């Protein structure tokens, strides 16, 4: 141990992000980035942005952005919280709601940042197992708990729950905050936002990184009843009063105003996902049903670790997890049609 470290830091097992190599140019299908650029409205804004504005602090409440996001979701401004990426929003939510007397619950195969937050904030947790087809069983979450967090669609499986299952989950846990992490919801799942008025224990978290092609700017949001949002504000203002910078806010407003482009890109990713899924199945892969901008696959005879290495050698990055139950699976982000074609071509050669 470094003698200057806090004891707790020594025990942490930090989150490992997807590979971002610098040794050569790769086709990156490993971090679920959108293959298409942000809205042309964002490009126009950047070309004409008044740089002198950057000398001043941003609005600590992100007022214009919060009101725009509230209008987009059909909510009040008091029901919206924004932060520097959905990971920061989730970190604040773990602090605000999950330091309880009972362990929180999330799936055994899920976003690997959740156990990292738990260890950082000293939160006990349990992980109900997904079934053999990697689906969540809502009945596994009916026990006494200190909170629940579920990605919908789940990551890294891509499998989504329907709104009826989410309603059942919320109704079964009226004394716990239930967070639905909707990072990938725009690619085919049902958002839980319409349930906010009915369930005071519901917090929905979304991001601009995926469907709005703004991963490089870092913007996340939470939606819930006013009491939950007020708790997030208390944590935020005890940590960083100015989380969303001026440039990010301006770009997000431009993106929200261009609904046609947003829908066009979303639909293109979905179409590419369906086409890629069929081509992967024809190559002997089992492709799990996905409502996200990635697919989880495994091959009936080729080991995932070997496929990962061979694809990397061919200049294509995918994600391989060494975790039990999915260590023979690959998660493949949906790229452009050209990138998907390159992946299929490379796999033909590798599997031959």
Residue 48 neighbours by CB under 8 Å, 6+ apart: none
Domains, in order of start, for the chain: 7-37+260-351 (3.90.1150.10), 40-258 (3.40.640.10)
The DSSP line for 312-324 is: HHTTEE-EE--ST
Q: Which two tokens stand for residue 312?
A: 């990397």
The DSSP line for 116-141 is: HHHHHHT--EE-PPP-TTS---GGGG
Q: Which two tokens stand for residue 327?
A: 């260590």
- Torsion angle, alpha carbons of 347, 157, 114, 69, to 10: 100
The pLDDT tens digits of the residues spanning 64-92 come to 999 999 999 999 999 999 999 999 999 99
> pLDDT by residue for the chain (352 residues), tens digit each?
588 888 888 888 887 877 777 777 899 999 999 999 999 999 999 999 999 999 999 999 999 999 999 999 999 999 999 999 999 999 999 999 999 999 999 999 999 999 999 999 999 999 999 999 999 999 999 999 999 999 999 999 999 999 999 999 999 999 999 999 999 999 999 999 999 999 999 999 999 999 999 999 999 999 999 999 999 999 999 999 999 999 999 999 999 999 999 999 999 999 999 999 999 999 999 999 999 999 999 999 999 999 999 999 999 999 999 888 999 999 999 999 999 999 999 999 999 9
What separation in angstroms does the CA of 287 have from each of 69, 226, 228? Answer: 34, 40, 38
Helix axes 246-256, 40-47, angle to 10 degrees: 140
As a whole number of Å, the CA-based R_g of the chain is: 20
């Amino acid at each position: 141990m470094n003698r200057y470290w806090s004891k707790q830091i020594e025990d942490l097992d930090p989150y490992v992000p997807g590979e971002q190599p610098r040794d050569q140019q790769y086709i990156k299908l490993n971090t679920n980035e959108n293959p298409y650029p942000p809205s042309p409205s964002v490009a126009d804004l950047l070309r004409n942005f008044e740089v002198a504005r950057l000398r001043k602090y941003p609005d600590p409440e992100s007022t214009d952005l919060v009101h725009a996001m509230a209008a987009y979701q059909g909510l009040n401004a008091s029901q919206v919280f924004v932060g520097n990426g959905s990971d920061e929003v989730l970190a604040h939510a773990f602090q605000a709601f999950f330091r309880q007397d009972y362990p929180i619950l999330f799936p055994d195969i899920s976003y690997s940042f959740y156990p990292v937050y738990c260890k950082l904030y000293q939160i006990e947790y349990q992980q109900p197992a997904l079934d053999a087809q990697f689906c969540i069983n809502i009945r596994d979450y009916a026990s006494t708990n200190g909170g629940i967090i579920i990605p919908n669609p789940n990551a890294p499986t891509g499998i989504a729950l329907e709104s009826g299952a989410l309603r059942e989950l919320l109704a079964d846990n009226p004394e716990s905050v239930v967070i639905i992490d909707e990072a990938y919801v725009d690619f085919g799942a049902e958002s839980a936002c319409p349930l906010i008025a009915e369930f005071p224990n519901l917090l929905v978290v979304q991001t601009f990184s995926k469907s709005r092609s703004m991963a490089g700017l870092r913007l996340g949001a939470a939606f819930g009843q006013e009491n939950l949002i007020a708790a997030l504000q208390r944590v935020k203002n005890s940590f960083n009063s100015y989380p969303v910078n001026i440039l990010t806010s301006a770009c997000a407003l431009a993106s929200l105003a261009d609904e046609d482009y947003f829908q066009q890109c979303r639909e293109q990713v979905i179409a590419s996902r369906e086409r890629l899924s069929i081509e992967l199945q024809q190559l002997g892969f089992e492709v799990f049903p996905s409502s996200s901008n990635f697919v989880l696959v495994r091959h009936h005879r080729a080991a995932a670790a070997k496929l990962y290495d061979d694809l990397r050698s061919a200049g294509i990055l995918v994600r391989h997890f060494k975790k039990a139950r999915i260590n023979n699976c690959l998660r493949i982000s949906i790229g452009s049609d050209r990138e998907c074609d390159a992946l299929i071509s490379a796999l033909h050669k590798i599997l031959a």
